[in-house]
Amino acid sequence: FIGKASYASAMGKTRRIIVRYRRSNLMRAALARQCAAFRLKSKRLFLDIEICWNSSYTMLERFLELESPIRSLLATKDASDYDISHLSINSDEWSYLKRLCEVFSYYYVITVKMSAQSYPTMYNVLPLYIILRSQLVQAVEQNGGVGPHSPLASAIQTSIDKLDEYLAKSKL
């Protein structure tokens, strides 16, 4: 079970690594070399934006896509040159980031579907609500190694409760 401090630490480290990456041409080049070594296409890392909550999903998705090159970069002696050696992410934190990205993906997919402009979306609201709620309930039940009393499970349960509250208000 990962504590609240570890959750914050993993997301904080991720953001700090990305900020340093965005500020350093040397670090961008080093990550590109690591990507080439892993035969991955070098891609930009995104930083999430507070007012655009789906950006946390896209940030984590890209960060995790480049997990092997990032792990390698963090382990190199050059990591101190980029001031990231102290931001090493342990296995539990990588697992947490993956689980969090999975949970964020539930919201992301539905938001994209409901944000369409070229076709009507109103008829999708209730089915998508049911799908989202089901995915969230399943996430809490499976625990994903985070434990039933973890901050992530608590946050998911709070989300379920809020969705239930909205549904109750919408009944005429």
Work out the average pLDDT over 78-103: 85
| More confidently predicted of 160 and 116 | 160
pLDDT at residue 172 greater than cutoff 60: no
Binned at pLDDT 50, 70 and 90, residue 143 comes out as low
Mark out the alpha helices in 24-149 (DSSP H runs).
25-37, 54-65, 67-75, 91-114, 125-142
Work out the average pLDDT over 7-13: 86
pLDDT at residue 145 greater than cutoff 60: no
* Region class of 145: left (phi > 0), else alpha (psi between -120 and 50), else beta: left
